[in-house]
Amino acid sequence: MKCDEIREKMPDVAAGLIAATGDESKHLATCDACAGKLAEFRQTMALLDEWQAPEPSPYFDVRLQARLREEMAKPQAGWLQWFRRPVLATALTLLMGIGVGLFFTRGRGIYNPGPDQSIAENFGSVEPGSAVSDLQALEKNHELYADFELLDDLQVQDDVVANP
């Protein structure tokens, strides 16, 4: 066993996430440098333990519920924003065009909806799993996925600065 192999596992061992294997224990028993390093890591970990985080406050759940209700109260909020996003707006317009086209084609042809069924009823509700609902879901998650790009961003930053 080489010193390097055991050293890279030291943060996990010192944090108590994993135990040293038999081979590693043997090495630690005979290598003062590694044993000393592990002891240092353990001291640092013990020190870091002192930094405790507070429990969530009693208002946490209440406030979260309120924010969730707010969230549920604006189900169609995404609609207007679509038209501000060129790509989505184009896609939506296209879909609507196709939808209207299909409706009238089918209306005149084989499929004829009953006389009491209006256009408004047909377009009023969005079927789950339809192209429109997929677009809605896409829009809702745009924010989330846009944020994920930030993680890629992190990699650009270098750590050299703080660790000379």
Q: Quickly count helices (H) and strands (E) in the chain.
A: 9, 0
Q: Does 7 bind other proteins (CB under 8 A)?
A: yes
Tell me the closest approach of the beta carbon of residue 132 to other proteins, in angstroms.
13
d(CA 107, CA 109): 6
d(CA 151, CA 29): 41
Note whether 41 and 47 are within 8 A (CB).
no
Q: Which does 40 bind (CB under 5 to 8 A by kind): Zn ion, other proteins, none?
A: other proteins
Q: Does 34 bind Zn ion (CB under 5 A)?
A: yes
Q: Which does 3 bind (CB under 5 to 8 A by kind): other proteins, Zn ion, none?
A: Zn ion
Note whether 27 and 34 are within 8 A (CB).
yes
Q: Does 88 bind other proteins (CB under 8 A)?
A: no
Report DSSP state, residue 117. -
Nearer to Zn ion, 23 or 134 (CB): 23
Q: Does 120 bind other proteins (CB under 8 A)?
A: no
Positive or negative: CA dihedral 90, 91, 96, 98? positive
For the record, the structure tokens of 103 come out as 């409706």
Q: Per-residue x/- marks for other proteins, 12-41, CB under 8 A?
A: x--x-xx---------------------xx
- Cα-atom radius of gyration of the chain, to the nearest Å? 30
Report the residue from 63, 79, 113, 119 that binds other proteins according to the rule CB under 8 A: 63
| Chain contacts with other proteins (rule: CB under 8 A) | 7-8, 10-12, 15, 17-18, 40-41, 43-45, 47-48, 50-57, 59-61, 63-64, 67-68, 71, 137-138, 140-141, 143-144, 147-148, 150-152, 154-155, 157-159, 161-163
